[in-house]
Structure 1
Amino acid sequence: MAYPHPVLSRLTLALAGSVAVLAAAPAAAANKSYHIAAGPLSPALSLFAGSAGVTFASDPALTAGLSTRGLQGQFGVAEGFARLLEGSGLEALPRGGDADVYVLRKAVAAPAAAKLAAAEATMAQVTVTGQGLGSGTEGSGSYTSGAMKTALRMDLSIRDTPQSVSVITRARMDDMGLRRLDDALAQTTGVMVGQMDSERTKFYARGFDINNVQVDGMPQGANAPLSDTVLYDRIEVVRGATGLMGGTGDPSAAINMVRKRPGRTLQGSAGLVLSRWNERRAELDLSVPLNADASVRGRTALAYSERDSFVDMYHERKTVGMVIVEADLGARTLLTAGVDFQRNTPNGSTWGAVPYWNADGSLANMPRNFSLTAPWSSWANRQHTLFGSLEQRLDNGWKLHLGYARNDSRNNTTVVNGGAGYPDPASGKGMTLWSGVWGEGKSVSDNADLYATGPFSLLGRRHTLIAGWNGSRQVSNSYGGEALHSYPDEIADYRHWSGNIPRPTFTPDGSRDETTTRLGGGYLAGRFNLAEPLTLILGARLSNYRTETEAYNGAGARTGSSGFAESKNETTPYVGVVYDLGEKWSAYASYTTLFNPQTARDKDNRFLKPESGTNAELGIKGEFYDGKLNASAALFRTLKKNLAELDKSVPRGFLLPDGSQPYVANGAGITVRGVEFDLSGQLTADWNVNAGLTLLDAAEADGRRAVTTQPRQLLRLSTSYALGRVLPGLKVGGGITAQSAIYGESWYGRPTAPKDAPVARLNQAGYALVNLMASYDIHPRLNVQLNAANLFDKKYYRNVGFYDSVLWGEPRNISLSLRSKF
């Protein structure tokens, strides 16, 4: 956890005082404006109660299987509940005359209502709804969501959030066969996926790396493998800076994977997937009530897969799973606890990519399956996370939340790279092997999250406040030792490479380097209803950061320290404004500053200074078809200083002690401007669509184009249509992902080029990938689905310029899945 500091302590006391005073304030009953999409009734009621600032209690059996037409416009609390419940046969009434606590019951005629009045005071165990990270998307069948909390932790609709957001729902993941995080983000507005080798994948948005990856609002943990989506209900993406909630102000995006939650009835599914390159995958998902009234319930999700690759010698085994339990400790108290795990065991892992040029300066154009690795080369990873949370609803509409997660990630790495050098296509010479043997490394992080949020009254209007603290402590260890059989070795003829070389062995000597990083801070923010169409979100965060590496010898004695870096009392302000232009449209603006401590090191193994800068956004959002369709358009501008860039002054193959590349800080910074459009949801009851277009302009301080490896135009489109009127149970769909040309700048210059020649470029022309899907319900509980990715087998690079190398994207892939629900 973040270390104590006098200023932070004073801020924490101020937050606590604010919460105590405002929590006691009576709530006003003025009308408010609501934008709640049509869909399942239970999450809609939850979202409305949270926005209205009232506590809502119900028997879950009452709302099971029911839907609502949504709520658009200005309403009081009672009228809003009535509109949402139209046609359901239910009604929501204040409990015992308390206007801040509403109870759901079956609608009754007037004579019978009097008999129930006394019963309400002693009604049976009820469950408070609206206690998750936004409403779940499972079962909705929609490509959009009614609410999300990643941006501000408040119960806000997409329209009321003053930033560009996307939600990859469970329905879209299932339709498009998105089984890994990179699959999902490759179809997300404004997000680009890059890959350095078989195991290292990076994400980018708005010109910058995405480093803020969360699970249920908590940091994912260092060195985590690509997450499997079998565990998640949805993936929320907030583009732009979110430093108010997370302590780091990456202006790219924040990614939050929201776990599935247990249901109150027995339900489950099982699936089998077969894909090209011998992929075999099995899934199981089961939700079970654990007692008679389902006040305790559990869920488990498991997946096992094995696959080869279009790249020679590669094979991966992966096991992933989760167990989660929820318990209603009372009418207003929810306890959640669980564990998830993932184990990846690849063989034939690549370290680096393949050369772009031949020794004579011509394009190498290596085959897509080409790999200069060995069958034993591996970046193995295993990790697990213990997590839990406690949420308490108060009578006045306030909610207290306490969360904790402990992530343990361990890597075992023995890899070889045969891509160094420039090949001679005539003789097969010119390529050199490099190996990396680091034995086991581990990283353990403890994360805590505490906040309180709820309504308060001021000047006759109802507002919302959130105050909290979150922080993490991460301890990473790398172990010393000796690697036997040390490369580099020259490859005699790369054209006949088999990977038949000795595997290096690593003998630990007991020494280790331990890096401890602490990041934490308190925040205070309010959403103020300044006038009926105008709301203001105003807040600030105070953050502290500290990191240091300590060295220990084989006997366990401390021998020294290095890499010390510290930042105290960094203030991150946030301002957001939303103005309703009518029932369907809202205009918004937001501004924040950036503070992001860096883990990148320079060639002397010292941490770079934290990144800094500003982020501003202006846009318009709309809701259509009773909230079933969300649309947005945004203008954004970011200035980021001290940006980490690979240090091209070091010799080829130079690595830091931990095996990473050295970086330098771009002190003058980069300015990024852009336009973004996003559309998601249902055009009709049978037709889902998601579309996004990003136009980007990034420039160095001297006007040169920056981040040339990210496209200036990026298109994402996916859609599905249920053909029930033609053939019941049949659904078809597909998508397009397209981008403009990119290029990487050469590190060492094109072979045979004069020394004074302009900087050489590694080019990737613009391209488009087409995907198709079709699914059919053989039986109401049995579905078969076919997915085709890169249908026209387009050849393209997923990475250009990393050490003058390139990495091919995946060729056409066909997968067939069979899924049963019970």
Structure 2
Amino acid sequence: MISSQNPPVDSLQPLRARIRLAILCSALLAPLSALADAPATQRYQIAAGDLSQVLTRFAAESGIVLSFDARLTRGQNSAGLDGSFPVEDGLRTLLAGTGIRALRESDGRYTLVAASTEGALEMDATSVIGQGLGETTEHTGSYTTGSNSTATKMPLSLRETPQSVSVITRQRMDDESLITLGEVLEQTTGLTVTKWGGERERYNSRGFQVENLMVDGLPIQYEEAALSTGAMAMYDRVEVVRGASGLMEGTGTPAGSINLVRKRPTREFQGSITGSAGRWDDYRSELDLSGALNEQGTLRGRTVLSYQDKNSYIDYYENQRSLAYGILEADLDDATTLSLGASYSKDNNPGADWNGLGTYPDGSFLPISRSTRMSPSWSYWDKESRTFFAELEHRFDNDWKGKLSATWINSEMDMLGTFLNAPTLDANGEPQYAMRGGAYNYDRDQKSFDGYFSGPFSLLGRDHSAVFGASRRSADWHDTGAATTLDGSFDIATINPLNWNPNSLAIPPVGEFGEWNRYQQIDQTGVYGTLRLSLADPLSLVLGGRADWYELDVVQYDGDYPYGAANYKVTRKFTPYAGVVYDLNDTYSVYASWTRIFNPQNYQTAGGSLLEPQEGTNYEVGLKAEYLQGRVNASLALFQIDLENLPDALPTSTCATGLTSCYSAAGEVRSRGVELEVNGEVLPGWNLTAGYTYNSAERVKESDYDPIGVFSKGKRYGTNLPQNLFKLGTSYRLPGELNRWRVGGALHTQSKISTPYGVKQGGYTLVDLSAGFAATRKLDLQLNIDNLFDKRYYSSISDTQGSNFFGDPRSYRLTAKYSF
């Protein structure tokens, strides 16, 4: 029994129906089970291209281990492979005309040698292509990955990880032309992107908002106001854990974790130039160079530069996104590697809204065009971020390794904008709003450090693995603002949104900055450990724990008057983690996991102290499958999240002297649901990812927490998020003589959403299409069309006075990529 308090039986009927539906849908996995054992003769459909990349693809599909001197394949091409072949015939066909042949070693691996060589070749710059996929997704052509470490810091396959994990690979980002983090997460199973402003995206999973990001496994606070994640050109993949991730992050919500994994230098030289043009004067360019910087290959570097300049379907709204990324990787000796890097990201957003579109007083939508804006043309919201990072890794002789990582991020925001108050109707029944304005500058620093040891050990005749580490992160904010009127009233004008000109208002005078200030400092230190114990050949147990020390100091000033001051400490807060995985056979596993996360909150009790942290508990059980040596992954999960200690307002008469409000930690929300996901290369040349989520959250105990909801017990929580969500993405390379062509697309469908303010958006479905053509071995062309049927809908809704946003109309983008 999970909790002593359960919702009424009737409230479980929709969930049970959807669980039955998901189990029925899991029958979709059955045809894939026929692919679990690859035959000795296998069908391949591998396009012509660079020899090393073609061999990588062949090794992954055939399941062999292939090693060779990188100098052998440099500058060599292959005609590809189309048809059914045994492994050795396939290699012979791929290597035809290259002067290279494959030798089968006694241990079953294959080695490439020059055709004139009789014996084994002594290699110094060796590339080893392992069986199946690894962590890095670049050049794999895959929609899945061989391993991830976001949930436990251990390099486990998706099947071995006792939580729901999705990986958006480099190939999928390229196929669907996903440029920003928001675009990536819009295509991720179970995630919903909402907006609180034109440039303030919020990411939601399992009914809750994500508060943290990780970059290469280092947690940082996601704050949508100032942090510029920039273009996705510098990342190899995005790993998303759905459900509580307190073991890795310490504090946060039980929504999940988003890990951005950077591209790394390669030993062999590679480069590409990409350019694209799209609707609304959307122009983008990208340069990516990587390779060894010395003859021995012990010093390697990579740089990625990108720039996007685009207008919008919204009047007077533009975006200019710049990204510069550089990394150096040095082998200090055979066992030690040092990495140093930096990135710079800048988003200029002329015309960006502080909030979005309003409605009629009853919440019904206004008869307006999607190009309408309810802010002056001179508004803007600019972001700029600088990041420096370093990593030192040492590999010990006993297969253990130690790693130290550090990052520093400075984010700045500069904005001038307006917001609307609640709408009223004039004498003619026309809507009108009072428009108010402000100008703000944010300067925010984050530092994150992590060090750990990981490796295998033997106990009671079995092999196990462990991770032990410590981390520290801090966030230092200084935000300042000023009114857009000299008297500090913020009032600018009264407008009728059905009859007004965004150019009609002159830029107002901005008061002296420093009228409003906020200073905030957060420090968090934690120690953690994870054990993966092999209890039997088919059974593994993952146990983990984390202890955190947390402190928050915040104060705000209105002129010289301080208010909202708080100092909050949490000492030795323990976060547990437990997961078990049982292999039913070589293809299927069942799993169960339980973990928690805490989130400090700045609400005062009746006595004046601060409430205890919110506590999120994640329960999950499921089935996972792995086909074709890991090239296809599938999962079915049932989950429950309990979020406790939510604030509930007390009568002001009970508050201590001097307090204008006080709260009790009485509220609780329960989120339940089911998820189904399949991703990978289901047939030669056909990549597919499909995910369905049913999620419903309700208030088990009353709380004032979350204005986008109804506070009373038994009511739905987070009604602005869909209960049903289905996403699909696919790409198929045509067979035979048409194998230069590929076609694909994406589907997004969701159920209705609403808010307590009367704002409602019905369910909708979006369809995207794409087509690609390999004009030459080095030049690739691609056309993407999004929202093919030009569906008119609101992608994000809130209240009557703003934060409602239209989804993008039909758009297209033509991309050309030249690789060398």
TM-score grouping bracket, smaller chain normalisation = 0.7 to 0.9
Counterpart residue type for residue 152 of structure 2: L
C-alpha separation in 1, matches of 2:472 and 2:58: 31
Counterpart residue type for residue 154 of structure 2: M
- Is residue 2:731 matched to residue 1:716? no
* Equivalence for 1:542: 547
* Per-residue deviation, residues 317-338 of structure 1 (Å, max 9, x unmatched): 1111200111111111111110
* Equivalence for 1:816: 814
* Equivalence for 1:728: 739
The answer on whether the counterparts of 1:511 and 1:553 sit within 8 Å (CA) in structure 2 is: yes
C-alpha separation in 1, matches of 2:525 and 2:106: 41
C-alpha separation in 2, matches of 1:92 and 1:396: 25
C-alpha separation in 1, matches of 2:689 and 2:112: 37
1:219 Cα deviation from its structure 2 partner: 2.8
* Per-residue deviation, residues 342-390 of structure 1 (Å, max 9, x unmatched): 101111111222222258x864243211112122211111101101101
C-alpha separation in 2, matches of 1:644 and 1:268: 53
The answer on whether the counterparts of 1:352 and 1:417 sit within 8 Å (CA) in structure 2 is: yes
* Equivalence for 1:448: 449
Q: Gaps (5+ residues) in structure 2?
A: 1-35, 39-43, 45-52, 61-65, 81-100, 653-660, 701-712
* Per-residue deviation, residues 492-511 of structure 1 (Å, max 9, x unmatched): 54312233322342433598
* Equivalence for 1:460: 461
Counterpart residue type for residue 725 of structure 1: G
C-alpha separation in 2, matches of 1:409 and 1:506: 23
- Is residue 2:353 matched to residue 1:356? no
The answer on whether the counterparts of 1:632 and 1:679 sit within 8 Å (CA) in structure 2 is: yes
C-alpha separation in 1, matches of 2:233 and 2:240: 18
C-alpha separation in 1, matches of 2:202 and 2:229: 10
The answer on whether the counterparts of 2:68 and 2:111 sit within 8 Å (CA) in structure 1 is: yes
C-alpha separation in 2, matches of 1:362 and 1:383: 38
C-alpha separation in 1, matches of 2:602 and 2:239: 25
The answer on whether the counterparts of 1:128 and 1:332 sit within 8 Å (CA) in structure 2 is: no
Matches within 5 A, 1:759-778: 761-778=758-775
* Per-residue deviation, residues 642-661 of structure 1 (Å, max 9, x unmatched): 3479x9999xxxxxxxxxxx
Counterpart residue type for residue 402 of structure 2: L
Matches within 5 A, 1:680-691: 680-691=679-690
Counterpart residue type for residue 144 of structure 1: T
User: SS of the counterpart of 2:630?
Assistant: coil
Counterpart residue type for residue 286 of structure 1: L
C-alpha separation in 1, matches of 2:55 and 2:399: 20
1:316 Cα deviation from its structure 2 partner: 1.7
* Per-residue deviation, residues 207-261 of structure 1 (Å, max 9, x unmatched): 1111121111123454313441111110001111111122125321111111111
* Equivalence for 1:744: 755
User: SS of the counterpart of 2:697?
Assistant: strand
C-alpha separation in 2, matches of 1:351 and 1:603: 35
C-alpha separation in 2, matches of 1:677 and 1:592: 21
* Per-residue deviation, residues 401-454 of structure 1 (Å, max 9, x unmatched): 00000000011121112464245595756221111212x221111110100000
* Per-residue deviation, residues 538-557 of structure 1 (Å, max 9, x unmatched): 11110111010257999xx9
**1:417 and 1:603, CA in 2 relative to 1: closer, same or farther beyond 3 A?**
farther
* Equivalence for 2:500: 496
Counterpart residue type for residue 693 of structure 2: T
1:730 Cα deviation from its structure 2 partner: 0.6
**1:327 and 1:649, CA in 2 relative to 1: closer, same or farther beyond 3 A?**
farther
The answer on whether the counterparts of 1:126 and 1:331 sit within 8 Å (CA) in structure 2 is: no
Counterpart residue type for residue 215 of structure 1: V
**1:685 and 1:91, CA in 2 relative to 1: closer, same or farther beyond 3 A?**
same
**1:284 and 1:331, CA in 2 relative to 1: closer, same or farther beyond 3 A?**
same
**1:606 and 1:172, CA in 2 relative to 1: closer, same or farther beyond 3 A?**
farther
Matches within 5 A, 1:236-251: 236-248=239-251, 250-251=253-254
The answer on whether the counterparts of 1:205 and 1:253 sit within 8 Å (CA) in structure 2 is: yes
* Equivalence for 2:135: 135
The answer on whether the counterparts of 2:647 and 2:667 sit within 8 Å (CA) in structure 1 is: no
Counterpart residue type for residue 460 of structure 2: L
**1:510 and 1:792, CA in 2 relative to 1: closer, same or farther beyond 3 A?**
closer
**1:277 and 1:106, CA in 2 relative to 1: closer, same or farther beyond 3 A?**
closer
* Equivalence for 1:669: 668
C-alpha separation in 2, matches of 1:522 and 1:44: 43
User: SS of the counterpart of 1:508?
Assistant: coil
Matches within 5 A, 1:411-422: 411-418=413-420, 420-422=422-424
* Per-residue deviation, residues 734-786 of structure 1 (Å, max 9, x unmatched): 1111111111111xxxxxxxxxxxxxx32111111111001111111111111
* Equivalence for 1:402: 404
C-alpha separation in 2, matches of 1:430 and 1:603: 40
The answer on whether the counterparts of 1:483 and 1:507 sit within 8 Å (CA) in structure 2 is: no
User: SS of the counterpart of 1:230?
Assistant: helix
Matches within 5 A, 1:380-395: 380-395=382-397
The answer on whether the counterparts of 2:313 and 2:370 sit within 8 Å (CA) in structure 1 is: yes
**1:492 and 1:399, CA in 2 relative to 1: closer, same or farther beyond 3 A?**
closer
The answer on whether the counterparts of 1:57 and 1:331 sit within 8 Å (CA) in structure 2 is: no
* Equivalence for 1:331: 334
**1:608 and 1:303, CA in 2 relative to 1: closer, same or farther beyond 3 A?**
farther
C-alpha separation in 1, matches of 2:254 and 2:432: 42
C-alpha separation in 1, matches of 2:595 and 2:397: 34
1:491 Cα deviation from its structure 2 partner: 2.5
The answer on whether the counterparts of 1:644 and 1:663 sit within 8 Å (CA) in structure 2 is: no
C-alpha separation in 2, matches of 1:713 and 1:561: 39
- Is residue 2:234 matched to residue 1:231? yes
The answer on whether the counterparts of 1:127 and 1:331 sit within 8 Å (CA) in structure 2 is: no
User: SS of the counterpart of 1:277?
Assistant: coil
**1:244 and 1:89, CA in 2 relative to 1: closer, same or farther beyond 3 A?**
farther
1:313 Cα deviation from its structure 2 partner: 1.5
* Per-residue deviation, residues 277-301 of structure 1 (Å, max 9, x unmatched): 1111111111132111221111111
* Per-residue deviation, residues 64-102 of structure 1 (Å, max 9, x unmatched): 9999xxxxxxxxxxxxxxxxxxx9647699xxxxxxxxx
**1:107 and 1:91, CA in 2 relative to 1: closer, same or farther beyond 3 A?**
farther
Matches within 5 A, 1:533-682: 533-549=538-554, 562-598=565-601, 609-643=612-646, 667-682=666-681
* Per-residue deviation, residues 38-81 of structure 1 (Å, max 9, x unmatched): 999889999xxxxxxxxx999766899999xxxxxxxxxxxxxx
User: SS of the counterpart of 2:738?
Assistant: coil
C-alpha separation in 1, matches of 2:439 and 2:670: 39
User: SS of the counterpart of 1:631?
Assistant: strand
Identity in percent: 35
**1:517 and 1:61, CA in 2 relative to 1: closer, same or farther beyond 3 A?**
farther
* Equivalence for 2:532: 527
C-alpha separation in 2, matches of 1:282 and 1:177: 13
C-alpha separation in 1, matches of 2:663 and 2:180: 32
1:464 Cα deviation from its structure 2 partner: 0.2
User: SS of the counterpart of 2:736?
Assistant: coil
C-alpha separation in 2, matches of 1:88 and 1:644: 67
User: SS of the counterpart of 2:623?
Assistant: strand
* Equivalence for 1:81: none
User: SS of the counterpart of 1:184?
Assistant: helix
The answer on whether the counterparts of 1:304 and 1:320 sit within 8 Å (CA) in structure 2 is: yes
**1:40 and 1:586, CA in 2 relative to 1: closer, same or farther beyond 3 A?**
farther
Give aligned pairs, total.
Answer: 713
* Equivalence for 2:28: none
* Per-residue deviation, residues 539-578 of structure 1 (Å, max 9, x unmatched): 1110111010257999xx9989922111111111100101
**1:607 and 1:57, CA in 2 relative to 1: closer, same or farther beyond 3 A?**
farther
* Equivalence for 2:805: 807
The answer on whether the counterparts of 1:41 and 1:63 sit within 8 Å (CA) in structure 2 is: no
C-alpha separation in 2, matches of 1:43 and 1:571: 45
1:601 Cα deviation from its structure 2 partner: 9.7
* Equivalence for 2:29: none
* Per-residue deviation, residues 588-607 of structure 1 (Å, max 9, x unmatched): 11101221234799999997
Report the TM-score when normalising by structure 1.
0.79
- Is residue 2:698 matched to residue 1:699? yes
